[in-house]
Amino acid sequence: MGLLEWLPSGVYGLALATALAFGAFCAFGRRKRHPGEPPLINGWIPFLGEALNYRKNATEFLLTLSKKHGDIFTVHMAGKYITFIINPLQYPIVTKSSKYLEFSEFADQISSQAFDHPPTINEKYPDLNEHIHRNYQHLVGKSLDTLSDNMMRNLQIVFKTKFSQLVDWEMVKMHKFCFSIIFEASFKTFFGRDPYNEDYNVTDEIGEKFLKFDASFSYLALNIPITLLGPTKKIRKELINFFNPKKMEKWLDVSKVIQNRIDMLENYNLLSDYDKAAHHFAFLWASMGNTIPATFWAIYYLLRHPEAFAVVRDEIDHLLQSTGQERKPGCSIYLSREQLDNLVYLESAINETLRLCSSSMNIRKIKENFILQFEENRGVSLRKGDLFAIFPPILHMDPEIYEEPQTYKFDRYVENGKKKTTFLKQGKKLKYFLMPFGSGSSMCPGRFFAMNEIKLFVVLALVYFDMNIMEDKQLGQGKDRIGLGILLPDSDIIFRYKLRS
């Protein structure tokens, strides 16, 4: 891959100019390692440092550095110094050192630059960040049950509109298919419906725009100016205005988590309607941006592995039979949280998908100089202002933990018919063995709902349809989302479906 091949065309000039300007500066001002600090890898390219090597193949790059420098080292990338901790047995240290490692401000900065809301950690908006986080309690417990039940109902409505037109095999692009179903059902579950427009399809209205914004998300998260990203600025504005509070007032069946968010934001007089709308848009993206590709990959792998498909379908059929439910297309299905939880092969297949496709870096900013004690009698000095990171794909691809880690094994997380939760490294049980949803203070608050909705999608697709992939090509993973979440497929793929015979 060429030097800046990964940036969209308009960004080349700026990045190159920045690199050259910093080059002059860095030639004289390269950082030096202080005594007690982890090994420092500066890279030879001014400003960018090792960013391009990381980008080429992050896991391989970090493992190669680890062979040379050990379990902890600092890498210079795009003007930042990031200390990586490689050995998964040491991951819990991050949670234990939370006094020195902060996430909120860092996440707030990325969220405000991507979604165009003012930073929430600001004395103009007292406690706003805390209130936003407190609101996520509506994604667990009883509220989670209600959300999952509503999602189940909405998914069935959307699936039924798909197959009401089906007579024979229908050929479609698989990502487009998954997107249109999850987007529609999930939007209705969270944001409700417009009572003045009952036949309204939100995917037709904003789906395309969402996908275009989604394609630019990684650049915004990297703080590339939006003016360099073609139509993204206009599209983002239109998406945000879709959530204008005056318009949202009229929506019915709004979920508790969103209604509470609306009411809470109303208490901040200094937030404009646009600012409030931007917060709702941020939630929309958080709730879909990872779930859609994760659902896509879950179905893709099942269709590529007929033995997995058969076992998972069998497990679902058995559950429906044992609960007296029909498994014909069109019949209504109800599964409680407990029943969903008991689908161990389905859960394992989804976990295996997340292991292979997730790439969320768990990142923290170092609040003050401190010594990180990461083994008995072994500590390293870390510098205020640097970043500290765990890169979970290292764990997910470790052959000592996961035999043949590149291979999809749908039942990896099942042992003797039960969920398998014991995975070993150096003979010791790992506290963290699967980390698609982050860890500690940055753990995804929507993770339980996400798992439920992916399960529900797979259940309905397998109960209602027979499906085959129609192209031989093996899909690869796009690089845009490295470090940021579930990787997108590098292209779409054609599959066909018909009502289950």
SS3 32: coil
Is the Cβ of residue 14 or residue 121 nearer to ligand HEM in the bound state?
121
Residues in the chain: 501
CA 15, 16, 17, 20 torsion-angle sign = positive
Whose Cβ is closer to ligand HEM: residue 52's or residue 444's? 444
Residues 6+ apart with CB under 8 A from 267: none
Q: Check binding of 192 to ligand HEM (CB under 6 A).
A: no
The pair of structure tokens assigned to 269 is: 């007089």
Name the 3-class secondary structure at 71: coil
Of 22 and 391, the one with the shorter C-beta distance to ligand HEM is 391
Closest approach of ligand HEM to the CB of residue 234, in Å? 25
Interaction residues for ligand HEM, span 82-111 (CB under 6 A):
107
Asked if 488 interacts with ligand HEM (CB under 6 A), we say: no
By beta-carbon proximity to ligand HEM, the closer residue of 49 and 445 is: 445
Rounded to an integer, what distance in angstroms lies between the CA atom of residue 169 and that of residue 483? 38
C-beta atoms surrounding 130 within 10 Å: 12
| Dist. CA 454–CA 443, nearest whole Å | 18
Residue labelled with tokens 């939100």: 202
Integer angstrom CA distances of residue 410 from 245, 307, 346, 405:
44, 9, 8, 12
436 makes contact with ligand HEM (CB under 6 A): yes
Using CB under 6 A, pick the residue from 49, 360, 433, 455 that binds ligand HEM: 360
* 220 scored as a contact of ligand HEM (CB under 6 A): no
The verdict on whether residue 444 carries a ligand-binding annotation is yes
Minimum distance between the CB of residue 362 and ligand HEM, rounded to whole angstroms?
Answer: 6
DSSP state of 420: -
Question: Nearest distance from residue 424's CB to ligand HEM, in Å?
Answer: 24
Q: Select the residue interacting with ligand HEM from 394, 446, 465, 487 (CB under 6 A).
A: 446
Which of 97, 260, 358, 359 binds ligand HEM (CB under 6 A)? It is 358
Part of the chain binding ligand HEM (CB under 6 A), chosen from 170-178, 198-206, 290-298, 321-329:
290-298
Query: Are 347 and 451 within 8 A, CB to CB?
Result: yes
C-alpha of 333 from chain center = 28
Half-sphere exposure of 161 (CA within 13 A, CB side): 13
For ligand HEM, what does the binding mask look like between residues 133 and 172, x meaning CB under 6 A?
A: ------x---------------------------------
Positions at the binding site for substrate: 290
Interacting residues toward ligand HEM by CB under 6 A: 107, 139, 283, 286-287, 290-291, 294, 358, 360, 362, 436-438, 442, 444-446, 449-450, 485-486
Positions at the binding site: 290, 444
